């Protein structure tokens, strides 16, 4: 079981009123709803960070000189459905 920590926040009265109504509508507490909102934000930020890191790695590979065409050509060579002659390899002709 995860340990849960308490968190004290300060919000405008109107925000708290809305949060109470929204939590009741969802059948939960304000505390749990805020926790879920923060957990969702964390998941989205983590996903963004992973996507950004992946993009940076791909950009680094591209800048290292391996063009998209070369990458695709290499991956197509591994396919049993691609004829080497279609890739411009004249040595096999």
Q: How far is CA 57 from the centre of its chain?
A: 14
**Is pLDDT of 37 > 70?**
yes
In a domain, 5, yes or no: no
Residue 3 located in a structural domain: no
How many helices (H) and strands (E) are present in the chain, helices listed first?
3, 0
pLDDT at 92: 47
Torsion of CA 38, 44, 46, 48, to 10 degrees: -150
> How many distinct structural domains can be found in the chain?
1
Cβ 23 vs Cβ 32: under 8 Å: yes
Could you tell me if residue 35 is inside a domain? yes
DSSP code, position 12? -
| pTM of the predicted structure, to 2 decimals | 0.51
Q: Is residue 7 in a domain?
A: no
pLDDT at 53: 81
Identify the residue with better confidence: 35 or 69: 35
CA–CA dist 73, 93 (Å, integer): 18
Residue that wins the pLDDT comparison between 16 and 65: 16
Domain assignment of residue 78, yes or no: yes
């Amino acid at each position: 079981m995860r340990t849960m920590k308490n968190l004290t926040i300060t919000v405008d009265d109107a925000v708290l009123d809305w949060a109470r109504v929204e939590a009741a509508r969802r059948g939960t507490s304000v505390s749990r709803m805020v926790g879920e909102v923060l957990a969702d934000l964390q998941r989205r930020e983590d996903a963004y960070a992973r996507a950004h890191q992946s993009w940076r790695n791909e950009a680094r590979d591209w800048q290292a000189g391996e063009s998209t065409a070369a990458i695709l050509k290499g991956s197509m060579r591994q396919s049993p459905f691609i004829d080497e002659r279609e890739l411009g390899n004249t040595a096999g002709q």
